[in-house]
Structure 1
Amino acid sequence: MSLEIPASVKVWSQFIHPVVMWVLLVISLYAMYLGIQVQRTRFAEGETKKELIKGRYNIRHYQIGSLLLALMVVATVFAMGVTYINNGKLFVSPHLLVGLTMTALIATSAALSPLMQKGNDFARYTHIFLNVVLVGLFGWQAVTGMEIVQRIISKM
């Protein structure tokens, strides 16, 4: 059984991944802000700590991080599927390899959560390091992704 995808769907499906990834870049910056607030709360004292606790930064950081994990994995697989459907192959490039690395980094970072909840500082600092690297790679991906989008548009 062969399922033929309409040409218009093939064309416009190529732009879903870049849009979703730009949204995820913004959300990841927000998650970083929340993580910084969690750290501030952890080291604060007295009234300052009471005020920061009211912000529920730890819960919001965890929820946003979970959303990022799920959407990044889905968007990565979706982009690879669309590329394969439209071209009959994946283009092994730095953009693809860095994207797969980012998916592994965010999964590893999220997997550290149970250890961090038990107070493991090594897991906490590893989580922070992985996420700083992830945000840096995300910025690079945004630039290279826009170059890919421009190539797609020029071929339309």
Structure 2
Amino acid sequence: MGVAIPESVKVWSQFFHPVLMWVLFALTFYALYLGVQWRRVRTTDDKEKKKELVKGRFNVRHHQIGSILLATMVVGTLGGMAVTYINNGKLFFGPHLLVGLGMTGLIATSASLTPLMQKGQEWARYTHIALNIFLVGLFGWQAITGVQIVQRIVDRMLNAA
């Protein structure tokens, strides 16, 4: 017993994942900015500057945006896979899928370091930073390969019309 999905929903659902991921890519840079600002708060010796920076609540905002990124990346990854399967009857096993799954694991691992960072573990901070730099690099590559996939979808739609 299956539920019939209207063809228009199947067609346009293919664009939800790419749009969501581009929004997340931009949000990733905002999280990076907040993380850098929070690091400035933690490492400055100037008490007046520290007082001023603390008002920005960079740590709270960094955690909030990071939580949104984590949840949305996991759901977006699963959603992209689901839409691909619904529209094609299979997943395309290739670099875009594998790197996307790897990124999901990286962001989860990075977020899992939070309790250790809160306890002052410097190795956890450096690991968090390194994982996220690697994640941003992979995200850039995913953005490029994702645009190529969207171009193939659009070409297929135009040729079918």
TM score, norm. by length of structure 2 = 0.96
| Aligned-partner SS, 1:115 | helix
Aligned to 2:40: 40
Residue 20 of structure 2 is aligned to residue 20 of structure 1: yes
Instruction: Kindly state the Cα deviation for residue 25 of structure 1 after the two structures are TM-superposed.
Output: 0.3
Stretches of structure 2 lacking an aligned partner (at least 5 in a row)? none
Aligned to 1:124: 125
- Across the two proteins, how many residue pairs are aligned to each other? 156
| Aligned positions of 1:23-102 closer than 5 A | 23-44=23-44, 45-102=46-103
Stretches of structure 1 lacking an aligned partner (at least 5 in a row)? none
Q: What letter corresponds to residue 53 of structure 2 in structure 1?
A: L
Instruction: Kindly state the Cα deviation for residue 46 of structure 1 after the two structures are TM-superposed.
Output: 1.3
Computed over aligned residues only, the root mean square deviation of the Cα atoms, in angstroms, reads 0.5
Aligned to 1:8: 8
| Aligned-partner SS, 1:2 | coil
TM score, norm. by length of structure 1 = 0.99
Aligned to 2:109: 108
| Percent identical | 68
Question: 1:98 & 1:22 partners in 2: Cα distance?
Answer: 16
Instruction: Kindly state the Cα deviation for residue 2 of structure 1 after the two structures are TM-superposed.
Output: 1.5
Instruction: Kindly state the Cα deviation for residue 82 of structure 1 after the two structures are TM-superposed.
Output: 0.5
Question: 1:14 & 1:48 partners in 2: Cα distance?
Answer: 48
Q: What letter corresponds to residue 93 of structure 1 in structure 2?
A: G
Q: What letter corresponds to residue 153 of structure 2 in structure 1?
A: I
Question: 2:28 & 2:34 partners in 1: Cα distance?
Answer: 10
